[in-house]
Each structure stands twice: as C-alpha cells, then as structure tokens.
Amino acid sequence: MSDLGALPVQAYLLACVLAGVIGLGLGRDAWNDRAEPGGTEVALYLLCGGGISLLYALRVVSASELVMVVTLNLATPLIAAVPGIWMAFVLAFSGHDRWRTEERVVALATPAFVWVLAAWSSGTHGLSRRSLTTVTESPFTLLSFELGLADVGFLLYAYALCVVGVLVVVDLYNRTGNRYRLQTFVILLGTLIPFLAGAVTVIDVGSYAHVEWFPTALVVHGVFLYGTVFWLGTLDAAVVARDTAVEVMQDPVIVAGSDGQIRDLNPAAEELLPPDAVGSSLSTVFPQLAVGVERPIAIGGRQFDIQADPITDPRGTDRGHVFLLRDVTARERRQAELKRREAELERQNERLEDFAGVVSHDLRNPLSAATAAVELARYDDGEAADALDRAANAHERMDDLIEGLLSLATAGKSVDSLDRVSLDGTVRRVWSRLETADAMLSVEGSDATVLADGDRLEQLLSNLFRNAVEHAGDDVSVRVDIERRGDGVALAVADDGPGVPASQRSQVTERGVSLGGGTGLGLAIVGDIADAHGWELEVEESDAGGARFVISGIEPAED
C-alpha cells in the first residue's frame, strides 16, 4: 500500500480523484447535450478518462495485489476504447461522418478488442503484461509488468490513430479559414497532453518509473474537446458548407447555424454585409434572407436569386442553412427590357387598330359626304354652292383626321433619348405658333428644366391648347401652372370653358372620344405622349369651372 501520508502520493491521488470527478461530471453533461456534432464522442471520452483515473487512484491506495490487478483489468477496456473514440470524434467534428461505416468501425475496434482479451488472459500465454507483480517506489506501492507483444501492438495502433486524427484536424485547420482555427488549434493543443503523458509512462521518465501519467492526461484532453464543442462552438455548419461553397466563388455564400447566427461568409458575401456580420443574427443583418421572402432581392443596386439549403447531420438534426446568392442583375435587366418592348408592341398594335378604325369609319364618312356633295353640284346648279361648301368641310375634316393619324402613329413610341427642356420657354413658344385669336395665356410658377423629348412635349402642349380653343371659344383664358412635387415636376393646363363632366373625365383621353365634334384624337395623343414618358395624366375641373389637364411625374434635370 502506498504511503498515504506522503505529499507526492496525496498530490497524485488528488489529481486522479479530481480528474475522475471532472471526467464523469462533464461526461454526463456532454451526454445530455450529445446532439452537437462530436458530442457523443466527447461524452464517451470523458467518461472513459474519468473511470480510468478513479480506478488508478483505487489501485494506488489499495494494499491488496488482487485489488490492484482487478482495477487494472477493469480499466483495460476503457483504455482500449480511447483511441477509437478519439478517431470517431475527429471524423464527426470534421464533417467526415460518411467515413464511419460499419465495416470501418469494426476494423478499428478489432485491434483494441484483441488486446483486451490478450491482457485479461496474459497469465496463460505471456503476450501481454509479463512478470506482473507489485513494486515499491517510496512512497508509492504500484503494479509493475513488462510489455508483451500484444501491448506493443496496441501502443502502435493507439499512436497511429492519434497521428491520423491529428492529420485530419490539421487538414480541417487548413480548410476552415481563420475564423474557426481557434477550435482546431485547441484540439491539436489538447492532443499533445495524452500523447506526451503516454510516452513518459512507457519510457519511464522521472523519479517514479512505475507511476502512470496518462489517466489524468486523458481527462485534461477531454476537457479540451468539451470546451471546443460546447464552449467555443463547433464547426457544424461551416465545415459542411466549405465542401460546397469554396472561398473563390464569385457568388456570395452565407452560412447560418441552427440558432440563426451567421457562422461563416465567403469573400463575395463579406462585400455585401457589415464587417461584424459573423456571429450576429441573420434576421438582423440580412432580413431579406428570411424564409418566404420574395425573390429576387435587390442589394446595392444588384439583383440576387436566393438558394437556401439546409445543413443536417447524419441523424437528421438541423444544423443551419447555406444561402447561395446568385447575381441575376443582367437577367433581370433583360427581362425588364423585354417587358418594355412587349408593352411598346402592345401600344403599337393598339394604335394600328385605332388607325384602321379611323380609316375605315371616320375617314369614310366625310369622303362619302364630299362625294355626294360633288354629285349634287353636278346635277343641281341651284344647290351647287352649298354642296361645294359641304364638300370643302368634309375635306377639311379629312385633313384634320390625317394629321391626327400621323401624330397618333408616333405619339406612343417609346422615348429613347431625353433632352433638357425649359417648361416655361416651351409653353410660350408653342402658344406663339398657334392661331389663338383673342385667347389669353398665363404661366404661373417658377420655370423648371426637365428631361423630356422636346418635340413630343411641344406636340402635347399644342394639342391641349387647341383643345381649349376649340371647346372654350376664341376668347378663352388658358392658365399653365408649373409645380414642383415630391415625385418630380407637374405641369397643369386649365381653361375657363365648359369643362368636362365628371362622368366623362376618364374617357376623354380615349381614341375617338370627342365632346365637341372633333376628331377624338387630340387628347388621345396627349395620353400616349405622357405614357411614353412614364408620366401620369389626370383630368380635373379648373378654378374657373373649365377643364384642367395635369401631367405629373416629370423628371427634373439635375443641375
């Protein structure tokens, strides 16, 4: 029996007991939270380490050689399981669960199982623990034995698995980038402790040649693994994501854990998100990635389609999501251009239909009237003058219709280039070119320089002025208001004529609709020109009770 009053024995026993308690306690906690990748393996590793430490402490304090042998044999399967558990942890932690097939597990466990049987039956064959006896190294009384062939084989097997596991962790260290190198570094650092402790035990370095140092070292290593998995946070989402989204991808990749925290970004994603995005809540940093968000999403003037893929472990547990953002800006621009062209074609088709309707109906009526008047003039001299007047009026109406049709053919054509246009100057210039008789024009509001097709803006104003003169009389008063609004500049043309009934204001801009016997094309052309620019046209009542046409949404020119 060891001298329990000696300080070295007391210190060693305290270390073993403390390691045993810590190993069993943390092992139980890890087992309860074993859903974490590698959590089950960490729990088993700590439980084995804690059991080995307590059994070794019992061997040190025991006065019976039989008890020492029994505790040694009880610790043997725990020692044999440690290398395999370590390898299983490494594979789970590094995302290589697919390597853990049943055949490989059996292959890894077979050497350990054979060694346990050899150690337990060493008295019959001498392949393990030869010359087993008690020795006294004051103040310790310990078991002593020589390594047999089976022991040497198990040591080589154990250290081989240790080295292979280290190489896998080193590969993980190189794969995961700087953010997760702390975890892998902690694992590698912890691995040195049982590695060196085992070597010191076998080589017999120090004053106490038969004291075994690896039981407590196993627990210390287990604490390192526990801290990595449950304190620092495992690589769960990041490791799996790195296999599919590499650093060099041009498309942004965002990895979020099951807790909604951002775990990893590739360089393309780092350009989109704030510098402190990693570790922050995904819903806070990037709310557009919420499930069910409308796609594509706009970010910084670019359009992205979102591909969200879940990350699950072999047990099907949710570990987070990988979000792949595909830049579809060019595609969306092409689709917008296609829609614009389709809309333009629809407008053109509508104008063609209107054109055909006017030609087949509106032009045919005055032409028939003119033909009838001419025929009447031929056969009835008394009615000749009146018939010719009717023919002249019909021809004049045909001329107006033809002019209107020519304007209608180009009014709705899309605006490809915009000019800097002064609204005040354009209004006064158009008014001066028209035959306005005694009509009066007033312009209110400060001048505004806007972006528009100058020729078509003049045509729009000309049609509105003619509409006012034709329907309100030669002495009409026309007022033009220039207003600056939140959505741009608004231009309003009002008169003091009879106005437009409220029930017909939505119809007067349709083709062929006229309230005063006109062609029904003038206001339709105004509407087409406004639509081609993306402006809004509204018909209202003026302050004088007449008609007021408001064109809003005109884009101001930048100074």
Contact 232, 183 (CB under 8 A): yes
Write the CB contacts of 170 (distance below 8 Å, at least 6 apart in sequence).
184, 188
Contact 360, 367 (CB under 8 A): no
What's this model's pTM, rounded to 2 decimal places?
A: 0.47
Q: Which residues of the chain have pLDDT under 50?
A: 235-237, 240-241, 244-246
CA–CA separation, 424 and 151 (whole Å): 103
22-41 residue pLDDT tens:
999 999 998 988 777 778 88
DSSP result, 492-504: EEEESSS---GGG
Token pair of 546 as six digits: 């007449």
480: left (phi over 0), alpha (psi -120 to 50) or beta: beta
CB atoms within 10 A of CB 310: 11
CA–CA separation, 217 and 20 (whole Å): 11
Contact 212, 275 (CB under 8 A): no
DSSP result, 536-547: EEEEEE-TTSSE
511-524 residue pLDDT tens:
655 655 555 677 88
Token pair of 88 as six digits: 């299983």
CA–CA separation, 252 and 264 (whole Å): 11
Closest CA to 74 of 62, 90, 89: 62
Q: In what order do the strands lie in the sheet with 536-541?
A: 440-444, 477-485, 488-495, 547-554, 536-541
Rg (CA), the chain: 46
* C-alpha distance from residue 38 to each of 194, 274, 490 (Å): 19, 31, 68
The beta strand positions in 186-296, using DSSP E, are 253-257, 262-265
Closest CA to 157 of 87, 70, 83: 83
Residue whose pair of structure tokens reads 């919420």 in the numeric block? 290
Give the rounded percent of residues in the chain with a pLDDT score beyond 70: 77
CA–CA separation, 524 and 512 (whole Å): 8
What are the φ and ψ backbone dihedral angles of 258, each rounded to 5 degrees? -65, -20
Token pair of 42 as six digits: 């960490």
pLDDT, residue 495, reads 93
pLDDT, residue 236, reads 45
pLDDT, residue 247, reads 53
CA–CA separation, 455 and 453 (whole Å): 6
Query: Which spans in 33-148 are helix H?
Result: 39-61, 65-93, 102-120, 122-125
Token pair of 461 as six digits: 């104003």
Closest CA to 87 of 109, 118, 58, 116: 109
pLDDT, residue 532, reads 84
Token pair of 91 as six digits: 């594979």
